[in-house]
Amino acid sequence: MIKITKRVSQGKPTATLELPFEIRVRARFKSRLKDGREIGVFLDRGPIIRGGDLLQSEDGILVQVQASLEKVSTVRLEDSHLLSKAAYHLGNRHVPLQVLPGELRYQHDHVLDLMMASLGIKTVCEQLPFEPEPGAYGEHGVAHGHSHSH
């Protein structure tokens, strides 16, 4: 098994690792490269692994991460007020959210889709890469680090 232990900023990758978001938030896991070789990932805890990131094994193999296609709900709106309203309501529920020009994406959830519909906002279920915003407190997983006991 190939042991991945470092994040690197440059180099020419010789292997590819395709992962969904739910795995990219972890620092330790087992998986397989696209060519079928088994790997164990043992990284520092905290930063989310992003599509395009380079990882290095103990024996120098450079691996490029690809965000895999996932089932997401997409909101596309030209109305910036309505798009802001959608982002507000999703953010209020601490939903990991990808923000693009005129578009929001979140991991598909029929309850959230119904909430969007109740606001008059249409969602489309698609298979797309999911790269949510890191959040205001930095990129330390999807959980937030403040108390709600105001």
Q: Where are the domains of the chain?
A: 2-67, 69-129
Q: Does domain 2-67 have CATH number 3.40.50.740?
A: no
pLDDT of residue 134: 84
| CA-atom Rg of the chain in angstroms | 17
Angle at 142 between CA 136 and CA 146, to 5 degrees: 55
pLDDT of residue 143: 41
pLDDT tens, residue by residue, 79-109 = 999 999 999 999 999 999 999 999 999 999 9
pLDDT of residue 147: 38
pLDDT tens, residue by residue, 22-78 = 999 999 999 999 999 999 999 999 889 999 999 999 999 999 999 999 999 999 999
Asked if residue 39 lies in contact with residue 46, where contact means CB atoms within 8 angstroms, the answer is no
Which pTM was predicted? 0.81
Architecture of domain 69-129: 2-Layer Sandwich (3.30)
Same fold, 2-67 and 69-129: no
Q: In the structure, what pLDDT confidence band is assigned to residue 146 with cuts at 50, 70 and 90?
A: very low
